Structure 1
Amino acid sequence: MSFLRFASASLIVFLLLNIFLKQLKNETQNPVILLAVDNSRSMLANSDSAFIKQEFLKNIGSVRTALEKKFSVKTVLFGSKTKAAEADPEFNEKETDIDNMISDVENNYSNQNIGALILVSDGIYNKGSNPLYNVEKLQFPVYTVATGDTNEVKDIAIRKINHNQFAYSGNIFPVEIVINAKKYSGKELTVSINDPFGKKFTQQLKATSDNFLSTLTFTFNAEASGVQHFHTQVTLMEDESNVANNSQSFVIEVIDNRSKILLLANYPHPDVAAIKEALLSSGNYETEYALSADFQKPLKAYSLVILHGYSPQNTQLISDCRNNNIPLWLVNPSVPENLPGVKIASSFNKQNEAEAVVNNSFGLFNISDDLKKFVKELPALKTFFGNYSLNNGSNSLINQKIGMVETESPVLLFSETNGLKTSVFIGDGLWRWKLRDFSEHKNCNLFNELIGKVIQYLTVKGDKSFFRITSPKIVNENEMVELSAEVYNKTYELITEPDVTLILINEKNKQFNYTFSKTSNAYKLNLGFLPPGEYKYEAKVKVNNELIVKKGSLHVKEVVAEKLNTVANHQLLFQLSARSGGKLFYPKDLQKLQDDILKNQFIKPITYSTNLTTSIIDLKWLFFVILIILSVEWFLRKRFSTI
């Protein structure tokens, strides 16, 4: 009994000393083999389409089954975007972006033991950057399986149509048609464009080589506002193997008036240059730049004022904008006080390093999924340190992310007071966002989209009705069509009690009925992917005992990228493999591919060791041991004392 008493007392002393125990924990991670299959239409564009859809997929499945005996195998399908495979590929994607697939693999599987990437493709990409720029970032080999036919065939194609998305009524706008003729040297070609008013414009040219490339320029007058449809046709030859690329359609939205924007800055800054270049690249706005101290003109002529580096010295300018009802966008204000739409209780001269995150409940306008994804990857901004509170009626599109915490403190917010729209971009470093866009995509399209969406929202004249619909006018067939709506009561407060319905009518006058889903203060409707064509819609809501009807139209453009080029690019696939330490195989060599991966000594499990430190007081079972010892000691003492 004394021993039991000693043992329990010793254990209690150990607990009071709070001794720490060290433990080495090993975790083994098996290699993962990624199988990426090109799900685009060009995979079935050649004579081996039946083989690809049946026997080839069966053979790929056999390779996957064999590899699964030793590795974990994950399959992804890619086209314009990359997604995990839930079924066999249908080869119906309208675009191919190999670079996006590589980036997606790098981002989503960076913390896993990836042994190899098997890329099944014809090597044709028609979206995104050259994948060779990105493949060297991968820390594992890329094995490519080359499909399709690399033989050049007789073909005349419209490779590209260069045109502005918008034109202003009364202006002249150019359209460039890029023609490519292969193996038709000496042949006369005719290129024609039919405009929406029944006029036909033609130009003649002669192919001077077997790989002839030429750009023709047509000019048109923007005669009527709205979405205008044009159809382009190039000569058809009887012995062409691919006639789907001999014609293309395109649309241009003609706008009544050109907005005039005033860009002011308190001092030179790269943010100003980035915004100015984005405005000029769109061609939709007449932009005037000046330092605020030098600007003396009246503001009435402008549709929007953008002010960079707002400070108290700009109080009169802000007042003039309000008096003239001119929308205002403040970028990178130098002080946190008196900002429209937000109150900031900030400590003087203190700043945060804040990353950007999209506010998913934002409903004033829509941005593309690519832009939403890109916002997460943007460089951090320097923002005011303090407590932020949005005013009633303010909406933030982008919020701050401090470390791992997504806050509700805004980076980009919008507000409207008495019909006057204002926006504030809180943060220093907008220009870095443009550089990151160019670095990642070799263009600034996503940055320009963000600036364009802000400008478009601020310059659109306010709608005073109780029911407002926001919808795109032109979308691609591989983009989801999303609409938003707002309903107001008599005091112009947002409400969501009544149901909003919509009737969509296609070119064949077939009707489709929808009901908007409700958010906290607005309505949203996702129509999904729509076939190419012209659509009309009619939205209805009953508010204030009145039935309100809104009508509109939208055009869904056909995506023809997969029709333009059907000649496989095996050289690209070879380079992808060579630069990453992999190999190129053909469909008949799948067994060799399987053996090569199984015998690769560098594809092996990785064991991670972790030192764990545990306080002895956290060992719950020790308390039960002490309790049992004390119970046994008490029982024995009671027992022997009775005897």
Structure 2
Amino acid sequence: MILNNIDFIGFSNSINVFVLVLVVVLAFILTFYAYSFYSTVSFRNKLGLMSLRILAFGILILLLANPVFERTQIVLNKPIVTILIDNSASLGANSPSWNGLESYTSVLANISQIDTELYTHQIVFFNSSIEDSANIESFQLQGAQTDIYDAIRTVLTDYSSDEIILITDGISTRGRDPLFSAQDNRTPIHTIAVGDSTLKKDVILQEVDFPRTTLINTPNTISASIRNVDITQATTLVKLFQDDTLLESKSINLNQPNSIQQVDFQIEYDSPGIYNYSIEVDSVGGEWTTLNNTRSFEITAKDDQIKILYISTELHPDVGGIRNLIQSSESFDMLTRTWIRGNQFVEGPLPTRRDTLDLVIIHGLNESLPGSVVEFIEESISSTNTLFINTPGTGSRPLNSVYGGLSIFTASEGPNRVNLQLNPSTSSSGHVVTDIPQINWSRTPLLRTNLSLSNVSERLIVLLNATDRITQQNYPAIGLTSMGSQRHSFVLFSGINNLLLTSNQSDQISFQTLFSNLITWTSTSNFDENFEVTLSENEFSANNEILVNARIVNELGLPENEATITLRLESDTEVENRTYVFRNVNSGNYQLEIPSLPIGNYKFEAIAEKSQQNLGTQLGSFTVGNTQSEFINTLRNDALLRSLAEFTQGNFIQYDKLQDINSLLTAKDPISETKSTIFQLFRSPIWFFVLILLLGIEWFLRRRVLIP
């Protein structure tokens, strides 16, 4: 419904009102005087002619007075309700309290009861992301992962919604804590808890921790975490396979219900290559599913140590923390230089050769560094991979000076921000650097920085942001870029040692892995480093498409948008190989969506070409298996859904207590949207035509009554 109203505001002109009145009076007098001499014209014709001229004069005077009006339009809209439906595989689990798809279908039948006289509703399905093609009449519970946070943020950002109804079991297997989506959100989220509410006996291969990249002749550990859910007095075997060959098996006792045990396997390589592994946990009598008993993965072995020059220009706990991390790994061979003053370093002079180095770490850039040291750092940046780490004493002037040639950002100094908390950016998903065990970002130690960035180039990939807990402003925390044949990374905060020594053991391991990955990635150089191919996951479900991303830059480090990238896929289960072509997204980014594939191990070769010239080749592999992550936990999370509803002023209800879906909704009245516009008469061309018409009629009538 639309309501319109027009109000007079006043006159907008610089002419005195008495002048306007005088002009009106004169117009009447002149008109009367002009026609008073024509005695041959009848009084009726005179009156008509005078009326036309007076009307024309009146319109001109009115336009000259410039009246201003306000047009108000009130649009009454029905509240828009977005129904966000989880279609992940965990909801397909059968139990005494929940009959999978059959129970879910009966719950969704309530959607048809929404009062369309009061509400406009839209239906959106999600699992790992929003699914535009899903249909409520034919959907299948096949989503391999669930990201509730991303689904809510997408609806809040991209959909017009006055209220949201979230139908899910509350089990999020990827992404941030869904409660973060409620921050600064004024849209009520009503939650309907569906799914299994009973604890079932199960043995779950919960997590496998392994090095994605390692070196030959270096011992490595593969750790498997096995969770026991409500099983007692049982024994099972945990097996490690390479391809189809059993390498080792270990027995564990399942005597303590609801406990987690860790099983470690030691591996070492004598030759480089890509090695495919799987860990299997033998089934135990009484467990409800074996879909969560297997995990496949791959490890890439390389044939040399990474040679690092570590230059620190300031004494700080972070220096010791990073150096200890590097020294603890046999993958790295580190040479340290600690600046004292002038050209003096504790360990001796700077090395004369840089061509043997894989990476130069620059920990701080002090304003007092002499020109010879600054020159050494600048030459390192132009010829070698570098990792810059911020310190409280770092100045923006030397930072802009040594890295200015990259043209990726401009640094400036400001007040020390000491309440910074890390959180992943959208670019972190699927990147090898952030392939780490899950971190609860809300409880990590606070960090600090004195730097702000501006003129940030799209070539700088920001993996982690630092959020000021007071102002909620985001600052780039960890970023990286590739320039020609080199890689450069930036850690733009201090407080790393607090992360590496955090009291939470699992977070401590995750941060150690994060910085090890960052050092390894930055130090890696090869023929194809201008061409990068990444997978959204390392293991995919047989029900889901496989997303492959590629990025390519030319020799100048600029995005290459005219390349053709093909991917040849080889399978151990199919005779014929498959070939796919990437589509160009923008700015040197390419993307490929491979339809769902049969279960098996796959190897691929991605080739980038331009004008029949090879720009690079990348090899990789991945595994397609049964949906696994969705069955690690199938117990409905009512606590999360209740909190989500409370934080957003919504309602929470369990599916078996839902009688009328309209009872959840709080907006009963139409939502009014008011639009106001100011307009002036003289801006409309219609008055010009009215004046011409009036004067034309007067002229025509004068001719008719023989007035010259």
Q: Secondary structure at the match of 1:157?
A: strand
Contact 2:483 2:557 in 1 (8 A): no
Instruction: State the alpha-carbon separation in 1 of the partners of residues 508 and 131 from structure 2.
Output: 25
Say if 1:254 and 1:196 are closer, same or farther in 2 by CA, change over 3 A: farther
Distance in 2 separating the partners of 1:582 and 1:192: 47
Cα separation, 1, equivalents of 2:689 and 2:240 = 87
CA distance in 2, matches of 1:347, 1:550: 35
User: CA, structure 1 residues 189+548, in 2 after alignment: closer, same or farther (shift >3 Å)?
Assistant: closer
Contact persistence 2:431–2:534 (CA under 8 A): no
CA shift, 1:178, in A, is 1.8
Give the equivalent residue in structure 2 for 1:405: none
Say if 1:549 and 1:146 are closer, same or farther in 2 by CA, change over 3 A: closer
Asked if the contact 1:310/1:330 (under 8 Å) is kept, the reply is no
Report the counterpart of residue 634 of structure 2 in structure 1. 566
Report the Cα distance in structure 2 between the residues aligned to 1:457 and 1:443, rounded to whole angstroms.
Answer: 21
- Deviation, 1:20, is 3.5
User: Conserved in 2, the CA contact under 8 Å of 1:538 and 1:549?
Assistant: no
TM-score by length of 1: 0.72
Structure 2 CA distance, aligned partners of 1:481 and 1:633? 78
Residue number among 313, 326, 331 corresponding to 2:384 in the alignment? 326
Alignment of 1:442-481 (within 5 A): 459-463=523-527, 470-472=532-534, 475-477=538-540, 479-481=546-548
Q: 5+ residue gaps in structure 2?
A: 1-48, 390-394, 415-425, 436-448, 463-478
Query: Cα deviations across residues 370-417 of structure 1 (Å, max 9, x unaligned)?
Result: 99xxxxxxx9984468xx9x9xxx96668xxxxxxxxxxxx976533x
Residues 411, 451 of structure 2: 8 Å contact kept: no
468-477 vs 622-631, which moves further: 468-477
Matches within 5 A, 1:456-605: 459-463=523-527, 470-472=532-534, 475-477=538-540, 479-483=546-550, 501-507=566-572, 508-517=574-583, 524=590, 526-528=592-594, 531=597, 533-538=600-605, 552-556=619-623, 558=625, 560-590=628-658, 592-597=659-664, 600=666, 602-605=667-670
Q: Unpaired segments of 5 or more residues in structure 1?
A: 351-359, 372-378, 399-410
Which of residues 185, 188, 205 in structure 1 aligns to 2:232?
Answer: 185
> Which residue, out of 622, 633, 640, partners 2:687?
622
- 1:158, 1:247 within 8 Å by CA — same for their partners in 2? yes
Q: Which fold has the larger relative contact order, with Cα–Cα distance below 8 Å and residues 6 or more apart in sequence?
A: 1
The Cα of 1:121 is off from its aligned counterpart by 1.8
Cα RMSD over matched residues?
A: 5.3
1:285-434 matched pairs, under 5 angstroms? 290=338, 295=345, 296-298=349-351, 300=354, 302-307=357-362, 309=365, 313=371, 315-318=374-377, 320-321=379-380, 325-328=383-386, 334=397, 341=405, 382-383=452-453, 414-416=482-484, 421=486, 423=488
* Distance (whole Å) between structure 1 residues aligned to residue 561 and residue 645 of structure 2: 55
In the TM superposition, residue 150 of structure 1 has moved relative to its aligned partner by 1.8
Q: How do 1:73-92 residues align onto structure 2 when only pairs under 5 Å count?
A: 73-84=121-132, 86-88=134-136, 89-92=139-142
Task: Identify the residue that residue 45 of structure 1 maps to in structure 2.
Answer: 93
Partner of 1:203: 250
Find the residue that maps to 1:107 and give its secondary structure: helix
- Pair member with larger Rg: 2
Q: Structure 1: how far apart are the matches of 2:703 and 2:528? A: 90
Which residue pairs with 2:45 in the alignment?
none
Note the C-alpha offset of 1:424: 8.6
- Structure 1: how far apart are the matches of 2:230 and 2:208? 22
Counterpart for residue 375 of structure 1: none
How far apart are 1:13 and its partner, in Å? 4.5
- Answer with 54-63 or 198-207: which moved more: 54-63
Per-residue CA shift, 1:453-493, capped at 9, x if unaligned?
Answer: 9866753334299xx854348734265113456799xx999
**In 2: Cα distance, 1:277 partner to 1:633 partner:** 99
**1:101 counterpart letter in structure 2:** A
User: CA–CA distance in 2 between the matches of 1:19 and 1:640?
Assistant: 37
Matching residue within 192, 214, 237 for 2:284:
237
Per the TM alignment, residue 596 of structure 1 is displaced from its structure 2 partner at its CA by 1.0
SS of equivalent residue, structure 1 residue 205: strand
Deviates more, 1:236-245 or 1:475-484: 475-484
- 2:115 is paired with a residue whose SS is helix
Aligned partner of 2:6 in structure 1 is none
Q: Secondary structure at the match of 1:28?
A: strand
**How far off its partner does 1:618 sit?**
2.9
- Residue 68 of structure 1 aligns to a residue in which SS? coil
Rounded Cα–Cα distance in structure 2 between residues aligned with 1:634 and 1:447: 91
Q: Which moved more, 1:87-96 or 1:622-631?
A: 622-631
Cα distance in 2 for partners of 1:176, 1:50 equals 34
Give, as a single letter, the amino acid of the residue that structure 2 aligns with 1:334. Answer: R
User: What secondary structure does 2:135 align onto?
Assistant: coil
